[in-house]
Amino acid sequence: MSVSASTPALIALDWGTTSLRAYLLGGDGLALDTRASSAGIMKLPAGGFDQAFEETCGVWLEAHPRLPVIAAGMIGSAQGWVEAPYVETPAGADALVAGIVKVKTARGATVHVVPRVLRQGALPNVMRGEETQIFGALASEPSLGAAGGALIGLPGTHAKWAFVGNDRIERFYTFMTGETFGVLRDHTILGRTMHSGAARDESAFIRGVETARDAGHPGLLATIFSTRTLGLTGQLTAQQQPDYLSGLLIGHELRGLNEVLARERSTLAGKTLRLIGNEALCDRYRAALARFDCHAAAMVAHATERGLYRIAAQAGFVPEPHAPVRAA
């Protein structure tokens, strides 16, 4: 059976802590309609998950009552609608399908919740929601999943870097870069001399990246105080200090990633690399990556909905796309 691109095939939900985004997907895995809600799992209306789901997706199900529904994100956490299990790396789309759990809505629809991914070890690592975006990238560009492998970065509050190969997530790392920036700015002495302006200061950002990159400097804890001292000595203005600190933290993130790659006789400059996330933030990462001689870090668009469609197709909820999923 095939479904045309203009015929609704799937309702896909990206349900996080503070927001819910819903997609009505056609037979090519691309959105025919989208809806956004502030009803994240910690901000639910009085009627709970059912009310949030009905307010967001009810009109689609009225028109198309048999549409399958798939969801990823915090909806599958212990605080979510139903707790989904962890799938251990290396994890392919088939492993995610095997871990799907179901929850019935008040109207009788079944929501299929994608499991989380766990990397075991002395320093365990977890992701919830990013796995779907990663498989969206693989759906958009199948060559990323080849045996040679690629590196997919998801910048944000907790930045993820996933090594993919053989069409699966092999392993990944989490860097608390965004959250650390907020804490340092808002709750330490560094913020006392900062003034955030509307305009970005690219030169201050790059100075931070290059300070972190320099192997002659002893690491993050020994360099972040320079955000203050460069201000005290007149080398950075109050407006430049936030961008310098941002560059410093992102630079240390990339330096750490480069050191991981060095153990495998590789570098950021030599990896096939893609970015998923906010466009402005990905642009900052691209500027930082260029200081590590990586100049080919393209963004992947529509990764969430493409990933959810791919997992749904693997599970047999929808047909395979009637035509290759179009790249952005």
Tokens standing for 164?
A: 């993919």
281 HSE (CA, 13 A, CB side): 15
Position 216 scores a pLDDT of 84
Instruction: Determine contact, residues 246/208, Cβ cutoff 8 Å.
Output: yes
Position 328 scores a pLDDT of 44
Counting beta carbons within 10 angstroms of the beta carbon of residue 195, is it exposed (0 to 12), middle (13 to 18) or buried (19 or more)? exposed
Position 215 scores a pLDDT of 76
Distance CA 247, CA 212 (A): 8
Distance CA 129, CA 23 (A): 15
Counting beta carbons within 10 angstroms of the beta carbon of residue 63, is it exposed (0 to 12), middle (13 to 18) or buried (19 or more)? exposed
In sequence order, what are the residues at sequence separation of 6 or more whose Cβ sits closer than 8 angstroms to the Cβ of residue 30? 5, 302, 305, 306, 325, 326
Nearest to 229 by CA among 177, 190, 195, 200: 190
Query: Quick count: other Cβ atoms within 10 Å of Cβ 308?
Result: 29
Q: Looking at this protein, which amino acid is placed at residue 301?
A: A
Domains of the chain: 10-141+302-315 (3.30.420.300), 177-299 (3.30.420.310)
Peptide bond into 90 cis (omega under 30): yes
In sequence order, what are the residues at sequence separation of 6 or more whose Cβ sits closer than 8 angstroms to the Cβ of residue 115? 76, 84, 85, 86, 87, 96, 99, 100, 101
Position 327 scores a pLDDT of 44
Q: pTM value? A: 0.93
Mean pLDDT per 10-residue section of the chain, whose length is 328 residues: 74 96 94 96 96 97 96 96 96 97 96 97 95 95 86 96 96 97 96 88 97 89 96 96 98 96 91 94 97 95 96 95 51
Instruction: Determine contact, residues 105/111, Cβ cutoff 8 Å.
Output: yes
Tokens standing for 277?
A: 């996330």
Nearest to 148 by CA among 63, 273, 277: 273
Tokens standing for 324?
A: 């290759």
Q: What angle do CA 16, 277, 116 make, to 5 degrees?
A: 45
